[in-house]
A = this chain, B = another copy of it.
Amino acid sequence: MASIRDVARQAEVAIGTVSRVLNGGSHVTDLTRQRVQKAIKELGYKPNPAARALRSNRTHLIALTLPELTNPFYAAIVEGVRQVFEPADFRLVLCSPNSSNNAVPQYIDMLANRYIDGLIVVFDRFSAADNNSIALFRLGRKGFPIVALGPGVASDKPDFDCITSQVPEGLKEAMQHLVEMGHREIAYFGPLKGVVEARLQAYRTALARHKIKIADSLIFRGETTLESGFSRAEELFQRQRRPTAIVAVNDMVAIGAMMALQEHGVSIPEEMSIVGIDDIPLASMVHPTLTTVFQPKEAMGRLAAERLLGRIEKRINSFSAIALSSQLIVRESTGPAPNFRPTTNGQPSAASAQNETMGKRRTLKVEEAAFKDQGNCIQRQRAD
């Protein structure tokens, strides 16, 4: 394998000159530059990244920890991150959790040990106050480039950037939407703890605002997977009384629930309305299409990547907590509750009036593209 010395010999210049051609290239005549580039091409020379990393303290490697691989929400974030780091000539390392342990410790380790130049941590459903986070805070304080990313990461005084989206606000809209259509028994499917706890909290707050009693029996504890949504929905059929709507912690859970309901012949939204969160591609492809709280996933990924790159290149040295805007997208999976008649309509509600021909639900067409590239609501910022 050709080294920089071979190139220097071939081009009849000093190794320092070759290095200068390689990086930036200032203070080199065109003539010598061409000679060097010719030699590089002839020898098929590629700089040794280990040597480079050793001398410059830059591995040009970024890690991105993901709580799970199979949720398309994360795929969109990865895409956004990549859009920033690929042009900057950084390589991206994806880290998923082991079967036994969480993904984070291993990659905290990689950061502390200079395998990677920076770390984007996508917090999972577990508490942000666990051991990993403590290690993360410590590294952040020491100045390692870290960005936290995810649904509802909350930290009062972060030692790194926190990028999130305003899901609770979007969820508030969603609850409003359901209540307006007469839903009073609204179930929640999802974890009770961790970074998505804010969603459950938003659900509760919204119910309280509308003076609807919060029934623990309507809160279904589960994971964030399709499977979990499926099995929670199955549980509904062991009950004598069912809710009229389900709010799911994310789209995968919502779609899992839809699958189970449709299998049992429950028609959506006539008999049951369903709301998801994320707006993954699948949400607009299933039938009925899924009403969901849009998150600007790629924009979150891009923003996280830009902040991280800024820290690595020492352009940025303040920490921000940034929340991108999030908004309800009404599609086909939500409709009026069974028996619901608008209050302006004085008729008594028919006993079990739901059927295929019942008045078609209002379908707001939201301009989705408008969200795709925005989101710039900086909430807090503090100096370095």
Residues of chain A touching chain B, judged by Cβ–Cβ distance below 8 Å, are 1, 46-51, 53-54, 59, 61, 69-72, 74-75, 78-79, 82, 86, 91-96, 98-99, 106, 110, 112-115, 226-227, 230-231, 234, 258-260, 262-263, 265, 281-282, 285-287
Contact = CB atoms under 8 A, between A and B. Distances in A.
Contact of A70 (B54, B72, B263, B287): B72
Contacts of A96: 75, 78, 94
Contacts of A113: 46-49
A78 B68 CA distance: 12
- Of all A-B residue pairs in the complex, the 9 with the closest CB atoms, nearest first, are A50-B53, A94-B94, A50-B54, A93-B93, A262-B262, A46-B113, A69-B75, A227-B285, A51-B54
23 contacts: A46-B112, A46-B113, A48-B113, A48-B114, A49-B113, A50-B50, A53-B53, A61-B115, A69-B70, A69-B75, A78-B96, A82-B99, A93-B93, A94-B94, A94-B96, A227-B281, A230-B285, A230-B287, A231-B285, A234-B287, A258-B259, A259-B262, A262-B263
A110 B94 contact: no
B260 A287 contact: yes
A115 B49 contact: yes
Nearest to A264: B287
Contacts of A98: 79, 82, 86
Nearest to A46: B113
Tally of this chain's copies: 2
Contacts of A46: 112-113
A129 to B, nearest CB: 25
Nearest to A55: B50
Contacts of A72: 70
A286 B261 CA distance: 12
Contacts of A99: 79, 82
A91 B110 contact: yes
A265 B267 CA distance: 10
A49 B52 CA distance: 12
A309 B106 CA distance: 20
A7 to B, nearest CB: 15
Contact of A49 (B69, B114, B262): B114
Nearest to A288: B263
A92 B53 CA distance: 19
Given A70-B70, A70-B75, A75-B69, A287 B265 contact: no
Nearest to A47: B113
